[in-house]
């Protein structure tokens, strides 16, 4: 319950940063949900924005809330993105992808002038790696990628649905959740993974977030890079 209150506080604080006329990246996940809901309230009160969702699920939510949507083809530059994270370190490096939207989230993040991360206090860590790193792969290359990840000292696990079949992203790919332990140099690992054929995208977001809003009890703490 406490975490839910912190998520809601962070999400609502982030929604207040959006200005009239902004193109807004709409994140995916339990904390981003509250930011999108708060944005919907502002839109109904007269705020003029357009949103670009990072997932089919978020797009459906935005439509229900009356948030006008656009696409990257129509609007390739985004003013502000509100998104969650599974872990945030003191330099605002992130692990993302617990919700399965890491590829679209990273595309949106890299097209954004100001990426705002919204999290509850449990997501703030001194070193990334407690949360298994999501890696999106094409099914054709999964075994090869798994072997590569094992060679890097991690344990990969295929993400599955409740019926045991592979979980598929909105892009039709599979996800490996990889336990690396503490990641001493996230930037180096990110480069290694990005250079590995068969990996579509990984959940290390390095140098993309500008600010994190952290729900702590009844307050919201701001961390800037």
Structure pTM? 0.96
Which residues are part of the catalytic machinery? 105
Contacts for 6 with CB less than 8 Å, ≥ 6 apart = 120, 121, 214, 215, 216, 217
Domains and CATH numbers, the chain: 2-123+206-217 (3.40.50.1360), 133-196 (3.30.70.260)
Give tens-digit pLDDT for 48-78: 999 999 999 999 999 999 999 999 999 999 9
Looking at the DSSP bridge assignments, the partners of residue 128 are none
Give tens-digit pLDDT for 11-43: 999 999 999 999 999 999 999 999 999 999 999
Please give the Cα distance from 146 to 19 (Å, whole number).
44
Reading the block at residue 66, the tokens are 């009356």
The rounded percent of the chain whose pLDDT value lies above 90 is 97
Give tens-digit pLDDT for 192-220: 999 999 999 999 999 999 999 999 988 99
Please give the Cα distance from 225 to 207 (Å, whole number).
8
pLDDT confidence of residue 2: 67
Please give the Cα distance from 115 to 211 (Å, whole number).
7
Which of these, 108, 110, 15, 126, lies nearest to 70 by C-alpha position?
108
Reading the block at residue 140, the tokens are 């054709």
Taking a C-beta distance cutoff of 8 angstroms, is the pair 220, 10 a contact? yes
């Amino acid at each position: 319950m406490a975490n839910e209150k912190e998520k809601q506080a962070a999400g609502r604080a982030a929604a207040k940063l959006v200005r009239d006329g902004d193109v807004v990246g709409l994140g995916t996940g339990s904390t981003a949900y509250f930011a999108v809901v708060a944005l919907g309230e502002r839109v109904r009160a007269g705020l003029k924005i357009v949103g670009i969702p990072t997932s089919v699920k978020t797009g459906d939510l935005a439509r229900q809330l009356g948030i006008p949507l656009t696409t990257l083809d129509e609007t390739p530059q985004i003013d502000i993105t509100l998104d969650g994270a599974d872990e945030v370190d003191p330099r605002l490096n992130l692990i993302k992808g617990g919700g399965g939207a890491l590829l679209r989230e990273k595309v949106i993040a890299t097209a954004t002038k100001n990426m705002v991360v919204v999290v509850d206090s449990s997501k703030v860590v001194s070193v990334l790696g407690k949360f298994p790193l999501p890696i999106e792969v094409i099914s054709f290359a999964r075994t090869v990628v798994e072997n590569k990840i094992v060679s890097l000292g991690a344990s990969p696990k295929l993400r599955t649905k409740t019926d045991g079949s592979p979980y598929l992203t909105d892009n039709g790919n599979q996800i490996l959740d990889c336990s690396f332990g503490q990641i001493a140099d996230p930037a180096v690992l990110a480069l290694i993974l990005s250079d590995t054929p068969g990996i579509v995208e990984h959940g290390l977001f390095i140098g993309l977030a500008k600010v994190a809003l952290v729900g702590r009890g009844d307050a919201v703490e701001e961390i800037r890079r």
